[in-house]
Amino acid sequence: MAERRFGEVILAVQDISLSFGGVKALTSVSFEIREHEIRAIIGPNGAGKSSMLNVINGFYHPQEGSITYKGVTRSRMHPHHAASHGIARTFQNIALFRGMSTLDNIMTGRVHKMKANVLMQALYWPARREEVENREFVEHIIDFLEIQAIRKTPVGRLPYGMQKRVELGRALAAEPDLLLLDEPMAGMNLEEKEDMCRFVLDVTEEFGTTIALIEHDMGVVMDISDRVVVLDYGEKLADGVPAEVREDQAVVDAYLGVAHD
């Protein structure tokens, strides 16, 4: 694998705390993500990993802490702002638009690139060039993900692994600077996992995209990620390169289930 050079810090979360009613989901979590790296967030079930992604892209609003994205510090993100400023994501439970074809699903990832107003679209010709240009870009992604054959199939009819791939395609179509992947390999068989690993690595290499991913499969995480942050019970347990994290006693305890006393 070619050596990637990490750039500046693209996103940093500082002392994020989030709770629902009385239930604490995250307690004072801080970490940073650098440009072009693959950053994994791991931890046992209920550790607050998905909540962390939801905070980053503005779906949940933390009670405390701040988020610095591309040099601008805020107390919370807004989903629309996050999406229009280069944060795209996939979901743990696939969140595709089931009634639409693969092509249309991926095209929805381009909403920020398409400026033609409704009247232009209704008249067809004024919006035609924009539509074709974006279609060309989406076709690149379809080629990249090797899903040409299912281009016109409604996604509701696709097998699980394919749906995950289409969802990745939709996120990539937005040409994100930061891509959040919520368990991209959950529920996949070995072959599908290998495919997905390949795509994730190719994404950073070809497009230079920064990736933050949540994953359960420790083997996968240690293989593909550059740095790993470990959460447990909503608190940060460890942070570092895979080799360090693997040796960390607290991490081992959390995973093997040593009694908390």
Partner 1 sequence: MIYREAGQFKTSYPADRAIFPIVQDRYFVAAIALAAFVAVPLLASEYWLVTIMLPFLVLSLAAIGLNILTGYAGLLSLGTGGFMACGAFAAYKLSTAFPELHIIGVFALSGVITAGVGVVFGIPSLRIKGFYLAVATLASQFFLVWLFNKLPWFTNYSPSGVISAPPRALFGDVFVTGSSATPEAKYLFALTAVCVLALLAKNMVRGNIGRKWMAIRDMDIAAEIIGIPMLRTKLLAFAISSFYIGVAGAMWAFIYTSSVEALAFGIERSFQVLFIIIIGGLGSILGSFLGAAFIVLLPILLSNAPQLIGLQIPVDMVTHLEFMIFGALIILFLIVEPHGLARLWSIAKEKLRLWPFPH
Partner 2 sequence: MEFLQAVFVDPFVSIYEYPLFFIEVLIGGLLTGVMYSLVALGFVLIFKASGVFNFAQGAMVLFAALTLVGLMEYGLPLWAALIITVGIMVLLALVIERVVLRPLVNQEHIILFMATIGITFFLDGFGQMIWGSDVKLLDVGIPQDPIEIKGVLINKFDIWAAVIAGMLVMLLAVFFQRTRVGRALRAVADDHQAAMSVGIPLKTIWAIVWSVAGIVGLVAGIIWGSKLGVQFSLALIALKALPVLILGGFTSVPGAIIGGLIIGAGEKVAEVFWGSAFGGAIEDWFAYMLALVFLVFRPQGLFGEKIIERV
Between 99 and 219, whose beta carbon lies closer to partner 1?
99
Q: Compute the 3-state secondary structure of the chain and give helix, strand, coil in percent, each to the nearest 5.
A: 40, 25, 35
Phi, psi of 209, rounded to the nearest 5 degrees: -70, 140
Which of partner 2, partner 1, none is residue 84 near (CB under 5 to 8 Å by kind)? partner 1
Decide if 52 contacts 16 (C-beta within 8 A): yes
- SS3 of 1, please? coil
Beta carbons within 8 Å of 152's beta carbon, 6+ residues apart: 101, 102, 103
Rounded to whole angstroms, how far apart are CA atoms 183 and 4?
Answer: 23
| Most distant pair of Cα atoms in the chain: their distance | 69
Between 52 and 138, whose beta carbon lies closer to partner 2?
52
- SS3 of 23, please? strand
- What residues between 138 and 177 interact with partner 1 by CB under 8 A? 139, 170-171, 174
Copy the structure tokens of residue 244: 């360090």
Is residue 95 a contact point for partner 1 (CB under 8 A)?
yes
Is residue 249 a contact point for partner 2 (CB under 8 A)?
no
The total number of residues written for the chain in this structure: 261
Between 92 and 153, whose beta carbon lies closer to partner 2?
92
Identify which range of 88-96, 144-152, 164-172, 203-211 contacts partner 2 by CB under 8 A.
88-96
Which of partner 2, partner 1, none is residue 243 near (CB under 5 to 8 Å by kind)? none
One of 32, 104, 175, 226 touching partner 1 (CB under 8 A): 104
- What residues between 198 and 257 interact with partner 1 by CB under 8 A? none
**Residue reference for tokens 């892209």:** 57
Task: Give the residue among 72, 58, 14, 61 at the shortest CA–CA distance from 180.
Answer: 58
- What residues between 36 and 65 interact with partner 2 by CB under 8 A? 50, 54, 59
Minimum CB separation from partner 1 for residue 174, in Å?
7
- What residues between 91 and 150 interact with partner 2 by CB under 8 A? 91-93, 95
Which of partner 2, partner 1, none is residue 135 near (CB under 5 to 8 Å by kind)? partner 1
Number of residues that bind partner 1 (CB under 8 A): 40
Which of partner 1, partner 2, none is residue 92 near (CB under 5 to 8 Å by kind)? partner 2
Query: Dihedral (C-alpha) 42, 180, 143, 206: value to the nearest 10 degrees?
Result: -90
In b/e form, how buried is each residue of 136-160, taking b as 16+ CB within 10 angstroms? ebbeebbebbebeebeeebbeebee
Q: Which residues, listed in sequence order, are joined to residue 239 by a DSSP beta bridge?
A: 229
What residue ranges bind partner 1 (CB under 8 A)?
57, 59, 79-80, 82-84, 88-89, 91, 95-100, 104, 107-112, 114, 116, 118, 121-124, 127-128, 131-132, 135-136, 139, 170-171, 174
What residue ranges bind partner 2 (CB under 8 A)?
20, 50, 54, 59, 91-93, 95
